[in-house]
Structure 1
Amino acid sequence: MLLLVAAHNWRARDGPFLEQLGCCDPMPNSHGEKVVGINMERLRHWLGTGACVSRPAEKLLGLAGFFPLHPMTITGAERLRKARAAEAARASEASAGPKEDAEE
């Protein structure tokens, strides 16, 4: 379980925090969905007071539609799409087997 929290920037990452703003379960449920819960009202409050957002939180909030999509999210999706296409091409070539020449 991952937590989205408001904390002082001088505190340790896993140290005490001021307020829990949300949580994320990275393991897909029975429907293949990753569940995220965020208190948007409190998030707006903390951002209004000048709080900074970490890069992982910025990516998550971009996927949630709170911020614009982070550029690395788009780049990662493109890399994953290319890797899956290459893997599918290799799998289709392997399943087709070696081709015999018609002239022999």
Structure 2
Amino acid sequence: MSLKIRMARGGAKKRPFYRIVVADSRMPRDGRYIEKIGFHNPMVDADNDERVKIDLDRAKHWLSVGAQPSPRVHRFLAEAGVLDKPVITAQTKKNQPKAKAQERMREAEEARKAAEEAAAAPAEEASAEEAAES
């Protein structure tokens, strides 16, 4: 049996509330689960203590017997200090700025380098004149 630690949606329309559950991976998202180990309420402020609550002892137990957390639950557990932060390895074009924005960034970088070179040139001339006078 393949176990997942994932979120099951509850709440009303446009007012989501999620239970963090341990379930068989073959069960539906909101279907039967083995144990409820916490909840996530996205409707409260991010700094509120009632936004995410997880029974960390039970989460550690289920992780030790092989349950795999979903990406969002993995992030919650990492914030709680149970797991390491998830590593994002896939580099896609979606996470890059668009072509015009990349062009503007390149132009800004070139302008910045030109300004640095222009500022460095008078300083080099002044140091060369001081060395010549000595």
What TM-score comes out, normalization by structure 2 length? 0.47
CA distance, structure 2, for counterparts of residue 16 and residue 2 of structure 1: 14
Structure 2 distance, partners of 1:32, 1:21, is 21
- Corresponding position of 2:21: 5
Determine which structure has more spread, i.e. the larger CA radius of gyration: 2
Question: 1:46 & 1:68 partners in 2: Cα distance?
Answer: 16
Matched, 1:43 2:48: no
Tell me how far 1:21 sits from its aligned partner.
0.6
Gaps of 5+ in 1: 73-78, 80-104
Matches of 1:9 and 1:18 in 2, distance apart? 11
Richer in strand (by share): 2
Matched, 1:26 2:26: no
Letter in 2 for 1:50: G
Query: What residue number does 2:12 align with?
Result: none
How far residue 28 of structure 1 moved from its aligned partner, in angstroms, is 2.3
User: CA–CA distance in 2 between the matches of 1:32 and 1:40?
Assistant: 19
Q: Does residue 59 of structure 1 match 2:75?
A: yes
Segments of structure 2 that go 5 or more residues without pairing to the other structure are 1-16, 89-94, 96-134
Q: Secondary structure at the match of 2:24?
A: coil
Relative to the length of structure 1, the TM-score reads: 0.59
CA RMSD of aligned residues (A): 2.2
- How many residues align? The count is 72
The one-letter amino acid of 1:35's match is R
Contact 2:60/2:82 (<8 A) preserved: no
